[in-house]
A = this chain, B = another copy of it.
């Protein structure tokens, strides 16, 4: 008898490594570049006290999956309802027959796949020298980004910047304990000038990375900007850099690239390529030491579906997973 599996956070939290997420996300973008996907799409809806984002898409790999993430962003949640500010579900179906395979809590998968996407981009775009990482932001995503980057590169040092000095201090001390590299705090200018890898993970709506602070050869993962109005990077730097996006049609509308395009500093055709084109070697990654690359990360359902499918495949025959036969 067929069943739909139900995965709460703890059911898969310790099952997948960051490397598993990296492999899943890389495979998703490989299939994307090979046109072996079901079209990705996006619905946004405003609620009185927050907003919903529904991202959909599918993968036609060895197995065919279609799914969606339905997430709400309600920024009064933690205070008013003792709930996460961003929450929702991921739904996975068998794209051969639409059977509902599984429903997952979305937050952990979202966090891990976003960090994993940066690591995949980094594999193709990092400078070849010693790597000094600057992280602007100190939330869960910043932590995951460091973990993911360390899966694909050796890092010499980490510098952290952000607004709240208490939170920075706590973050630096926690990262020092986890990672066997020097971790310190500094202001954004110094972090940008000092580091040849930058990861921005803030909810900012005006840029704080000035183009003149960024050194030649830098790799920047612009992770924060994923909806209209969000911005972290000087649009002049977007013009100077080679831009790689997760999904081109998405980054020009809701990613970091939206601003440079709106200001006519770049046009859509100036975007260098999509992540999948690097993975499939349709285009080379870094070829010169001086190139500045920005990975414009907006997040896509195919990443969620790939990660969800990975969890599903690992646990589908495990009797301890909760399940329901929706059709009985």
Question: How near does chain B come to A244, taking the closest CB pair, in angstroms?
Answer: 25
The residues in A between 31 and 77 inclusive whose CB is less than 8 angstroms from any CB of B are 38-39, 41, 43, 45-50, 52, 54, 56-58, 60, 64, 66, 68, 70-74, 77
Supposing A47-B64, A66-B47, A91-B89 touch, asked if A52 and B98 sit within 8 A by C-beta, the answer is yes
Question: Which residues of chain B are near A71, meaning CB under 8 Å?
Answer: 98
Question: How near does chain B come to A233, taking the closest CB pair, in angstroms?
Answer: 29
Supposing A56-B54, A68-B54 touch, asked if A47 and B6 sit within 8 A by C-beta, the answer is no
Number of residues on chain A facing chain B (CB within 8 A): 58
Question: Per DSSP, are chain A's interface residues mostly helix, strand or loop, or mixed?
Answer: strand
- Please choose the segment from A99-107, A170-178, A251-259, A266-274 that sits at the chain B interface, where 4 or more of its residues have CB less than 8 A away: A99-107
Q: How far is the CA of A93 from the CA of B9 in the complex (A)?
A: 18
Question: Which residues of chain B are near A104, meaning CB under 8 Å?
Answer: 326
Q: Which of B54, B68, B80, B98 meets A97, CB within 8 Å?
A: B80
Mark each residue of chain A from 308 to 328: 1 if its CB lies under 8 Å from any CB of chain B, else 0. 000000000000001011111
Question: Which residues of chain B are near A43, meaning CB under 8 Å?
Answer: 41, 43, 54, 56
Q: How far is the CA of A175 from the CA of B95 in the complex (A)?
A: 36
Q: How far is the CA of A72 from the CA of B56 in the complex (A)?
A: 13
Q: Are B70 and A93 in contact, CB atoms less than 8 angstroms apart?
A: yes
Question: Which residues of chain B are near A41, meaning CB under 8 Å?
Answer: 43, 45
